[in-house]
Each structure stands twice: as structure tokens, then as C-alpha cells.
Amino acid sequence: MSTAHSLVYLLAGLVSVFLFSAYRRRRVRYPPGPKGLPVLGNLFDVPVDYPWIGFCDIGKQHGSDVVHFQVLGTHLVVLNSLQAVGDLLEKQSNVYSDRPSTIMLDELSGWSRSWVQLDYGERWKEHRRLFHQNFRPSAIPQYHAKQAKAARRLLRFIVDSPERLVEHLRFIVGAMVLDTVFAFDVKPGDPMIKLVENAADTAIETIAAGVWMVDVIPALKYIPSWFPGARFQRKAREWKKQVDGLFDIPYGHFKESMRVGDAKPCFMSTLLSNVDDYEDLAQTEEMFASLAGVSYVAGSDTIVSTLATFVFAMTLFPEAQAAAHIALDDVLKGKRLPEIEDREALPYITALLYELLRWHPVTPIALPHRTSADSYYQGCFIPAGTNVFGNSWAILHDPTLYPEPHRFRPERFLRADGSLNPDARVPVEGFGFGRRICPGRHFAQDMLWITIAHVLAVFEIQPVGDASRKVDPEDVEQYFTPRFVSMPKPFECRFRLRVAEGLIPSGDLDQ
């Protein structure tokens, strides 16, 4: 398509959006929200930085926990309460379970290969079924040894070079996921780690950039990459190579290891052992590659970001860290490292993990759902094709659910005698909602628990520099990155050994 034709389509699209939007506004009542401008709608009203806080503020301004925006003809609805999420994403999940497809992320950058991006239907259900079979709660114990190995690797890395904390977190989590999915035993500097890390970063960068104009005006995808202003085309081409590598290269390596008889039991070997149950081999292999690639992206980024948040939180809340040290010392006596089997004897560590997931969820705004049909809520119209966002942060900071939500208080999950309170709400909202809730959350929570227990059993985490100053609990968000996957901005801390260094495994671990 010529550039002239693209510009004609662009102009026609803008006029159509304006006329259609004006027509619809006269006929229907949407949920409350900013009024917006002609053609552009609420383009300048949607918060870009810290949107979880901005959406809360807009909801309060309009006296509603459901807020509506319209951006160049696209409808967005944000749910700021547990009630709204339950009423729509849970009770009406048959309508609210599709996933928006974007040209930049899916078509140009290659993420359409991710099964998470599939609309709700039979293909999505089959992917989800296979993933759930291998990562349901009863299946997780088979991975505990790999998770413990990763946690113990981290201890040695911290002793040797604590200033490279985030680098170490990314390696041990990435290596653990590759071990779980493919039984790959990777070492620091392995190109496989770099490959999957780079691909995972493309998804975060694409989403964090906000609204891409090509998603609003699809005709722009025909503009050649050399055309002025078409930097997005060049970026997408670069990203697609990395995304294709994520899905194809590790899977190809594993198939080769199976061919020569070197493959070890793992998630992928389980999948491939049933490949003959499917008629279309090419489609089946693409499904397996998608399951593997998404496992890395979803698992690595969320776990790494949560662990970084944990370390930062310990620099801010020494009283919580001291209570965790007392609990661990009472069980371990400073003579051994924790095991996952110690969990029942360490309710405070579980409560600390719950509070961490509540205090600052890694994805404060959940990935959007899309409505597959028109619906109504509280008398307001929500049209088919609306992108619906659950505001996880708003729910987890709702004072009616969690009193004094800005305070870091693991005790909120405990009884007076120190045992876990079975009536306390477990903060799962950071893992998504409805039929789209993360199926790997049980695996992630066990990995987080064993890593947190290891780090606190061995170290006291002390603040350094700016981190040592008193932080206003109600203003702590400024210390986190402001976009989709939110983690602490760079900070300094010191790790002081609490046990004999001989307790920490040296060198690489075989078990």
C-alpha cells in the first residue's frame, strides 16, 4: 500500500471515529468517567504513570468504582473494587474472558504466538488444561528441589557480589524456570538465559509504552519502516526476531536432546510424551512451544520483581524482618537452611509473603480482559469489544478489606497466637482475575516462599544511603517503577551474614 493511500485511510478513520462516537454518546449511558474531547476522547485523561493510583483518583472524583474511558473509539473500563471485579470478571466470565489483540504487540512484535493472548475458546482451553495438569497445587512438590537449588544458588551469589542483586535474581529465577520446563542446566552467562530474558523484556517494553498509534489507527501498519515517524516498525521487527527465538530455540534444543537420548524428565518431556494424541503435528508443536515460552515470561518477570520488592521492603520495615528472624531461628537454630517442609512451622514467613503480595503487587493493573458481547452493569452500558482492567492495587489497598492498607503488617494474616488466620483474605488479586487468573500462581508462591525463607535465614538486610531514611508509607509508590510490571527503582542495601558462612553451599549446586 502506498503512503498516500495510508494517509487517506488515516483521515477517513479519524472522521469515522468522531462521527460514530458522537452518535453513540447521544444514545447510551456508559459508566462514569471524564468527558473527553471530540475525536480524541479521553486520550489525555488515561493516566500513564502509576495508573493504578490515577484510576483510583478518577473513580473517587466520579463517585464510582467502575470508570469508563473512550480513546479514539476504543472503550476502556477500569474496575476499582472487589465487588465490581466479582460481578463482572467472575460472575459474567462468559462475556468478560476474551483478550484484546493489538497490532503492535501481537501482529507486528510476534506475541500472537503466546497462548495467553488467545481469545477464550477451545484452543485457549486446551492450552490452559495442559498447563494446569503440570502446575496444579498437587503437581508443585515435584519442582521443590529445583526451587530450593535456585534459592541456595542465590545465597552464594549474594555473598560473592551483593551489589549485583537484581542480576542474580534474574539468573536464578530464569535458570530455575528453564530447568523446570526443559531440564536445562544453565550457568551464568549462558546465551539461552540472555535469549529468553531479551524476549521477555520486549513484552514489558511494548506494554509499558502505553497506547501505540498503530493500535488506534491500524492502517499505519502499512507504512514502510523507512518512512519518517515509522520507528515503531523498526522496533517491532527487532522485537519479533527475539520473540520468535524465545518460542523456537529452546524448544528446538530440547527436541534435539530427545532425538539423541539426552533429554531429562521435565514439563516439556511430559507434553511430548503425549504428542501422538493429536492429529495436527505442526499445530501441536506450536502449542507446546507457546506453553514453554509463556512459562518463562510469566514466571521469571513476576518472581524477580516480587523478590526485588521483598528486599526493598526489608530495608524499610526492620520490625517485620526482625520478627521473621526470630521465627526462623526458633525452627532452624542457625544450624541448617530451610526446607519447604518447614512451612507449617513458619507461619510468619507465609504471612510476610502474603503481605508482600498485597502491599505492592508486581502487576498493579491486571492484563486487560475484553468483552465478547454487549453487557450492562448498574444500569450502564459496556459494549462488546471493551477492554476491561481490574485494578489489583486498588483492591489490595481497600481499607474495608485490609485496614491501614499502606502499612506493612504481616500480622494481619495471623491469629493472636501467631498461627495463620484461616479467615484472613489471601491476596491473590496480583495474579489476575476470573478465568484469566495466572495458572502458575501456586508454583510462583512456593518459589517466593522458599527464597524469602533462605535469604532471611542467612542474612540481615540493612538499608544504605537514601534507603535508610524514613519513608512515608502512604507515599511509598514513588520508589517503584510506574508502569505495567512494577518493581523498586534502583536502591542500595547491605547483606550482613547471620550464620556461619560454611552453612552456605559453595560453587555450583548439583542438587
List of residues 6+ apart from 256 with CB closer than 8 A: none
CB atoms within 10 A of CB 52: 25
In this structure, are residues 453 and 328 in contact, taking their beta carbons and an 8 Å threshold?
yes
Q: What is the 3-state secondary structure (H, E, C) of 257-303?
A: HHHCCCCCCCHHHHHHCCHHHCCCHHHHHHHHHHHHHHHHHHHHHHH
- Enumerate the known binding-site residues for heme: 438
The three cell numbers of residue 195 are 535469549
DSSP for 287-353, written as a single string: HHHHHHHHHHHHHHHHHHHHHHHHHHHHHH-HHHHHHHHHHHHHHHTTSS---GGGGGG-HHHHHHH
* 247 burial type by CB count under 10 A (0-12 exposed, 13-18 middle, 19+ buried): buried
Residues comprising the binding site? 438
Burial category of 49 from C-beta neighbours within 10 Å (exposed 0-12, middle 13-18, buried 19 and up): exposed
> Dmax of the chain from CA atoms?
75
CA atoms within 13 A on the CB side of 100: 23
Continuous H helices in 28-50 = none
Contact 105, 111 (CB under 8 A): yes
User: DSSP string of 238-262?
Assistant: HHHHHHHHHHHHHHHHHHHHHHTT-
Helix (H, G, I), strand (E, B) or coil at 377: strand
Q: Are 363 and 486 in contact (CB under 8 A)?
A: yes
Instruction: For residue 57, count other CB atoms closer than 10 A to its CB.
Output: 13
Q: Residue 436 in contact with residue 423, Cβ under 8 Å? A: no
Closest CA to 486 of 439, 430, 419: 430
Residue among 176, 455, 175, 468 nearest 311 (CA)? 455
Nearest to 85 by CA among 385, 373, 368: 368
**Residue 495 phi, psi (nearest 5):** -105, 115
Is 290 exposed, middle or buried (CB count within 10 Å of its CB: 0-12, 13-18, 19+)?
A: buried
Residue 75 bridge partners (DSSP)? 70
Query: Nearest Cα to 145, choosing from 340, 295, 347?
Result: 340
